[in-house]
Amino acid sequence: MSEAIELKAWARQRSGKGGARAARREGRIPGILYGDKQEPQTIAVDYRAISLQLHTGHFQSTIFTLNVEGTKTRVIPHGVQLDPVRDFPIHVDFLRVGKDALVTVEVPVRFLNEAASPGLKRGGVLNVVRHEIQVRCPADAIPAHFDVDLTGLEIGDTVHLSAIALPKGVRPTTTERDFTVATIVGRAAEEAATGAPAAAAEAGAEAAAATPAEGAEDKEKPKEKEKEPKKK
């Protein structure tokens, strides 16, 4: 087991919105540390450190050592709140991880060997149904990712959960069905799913309305010659 990454944190004396705003003014993110049959503790963590870990893509499935002013605790992130407009972290919670603890995490799925899929070579599209799979596993044995080999897959083939080899001690939280992880679909099916034909039909209808039908041009009829008055 590799050594856990250490995150520096500070105890927050004030809770509520006022304390959270004060933490943010200091360049920190407010949060709560709870679990392991202990009282919840209000904390603040360094903004830059959390932003850096968020960009790894597996922040919430990583065990960290949280150093709260000298007191170190093994934790796992248990929720990150992002600003709804600017999409940066504004609150983060951590769950204490005791010895032999089991945790529920989302593990990302990687798709390998796309070039070895005949279906994709013939113009098929990889339709990913699940980018992550939720599992229950020991805190010290969280998988970094699950791999799906696309070698030999044709258009119409489906990858189910049962096709993924799960490490020992790791089990999916959904056990009542063998759910779909990804499928190889034809280009036409992909366009139909995204509404491309409907858009094309609508565009065609607009074009037809803007262009007169063949032979329907409004031709000006020749004027009849005026009859000359009869001479008396």
Contact between residue 94 and residue 76 where contact means Cβ atoms under 8 Å apart: yes
pLDDT at residue 79 is higher than 50: yes
Name the CATH topology of 1-98.
Ribosomal Protein L25; Chain P (2.40.240)
Residues 6+ away with beta carbon under 8 Å from 201: none
Query: Where along the chain do its domains lie?
Result: 1-98, 100-202
100-149 pLDDT, tens digit each: 889 999 999 999 999 999 999 999 999 999 999 999 999 888 998 999 99
**What local confidence, expressed as pLDDT, does residue 57 receive?**
83
End-to-end CA distance of the chain: 123
- Segment 163-168 shows an average pLDDT of 92
**What local confidence, expressed as pLDDT, does residue 195 receive?**
60
186 vs 190, more confident: 186
Tell me what the pLDDT averaged over the chain comes to.
Answer: 82
Q: How far apart are CA 173 and CA 65, in angstroms?
A: 26
Question: Could you tell me the pTM of the whole model?
Answer: 0.65
Give me the residue label for tokens 């139909």. 192
pLDDT at residue 211 is higher than 60: no
β-pairing verdict for 89-96 and 64-68: unpaired
The architecture in CATH of the region 100-202 reads Beta Complex (2.170)
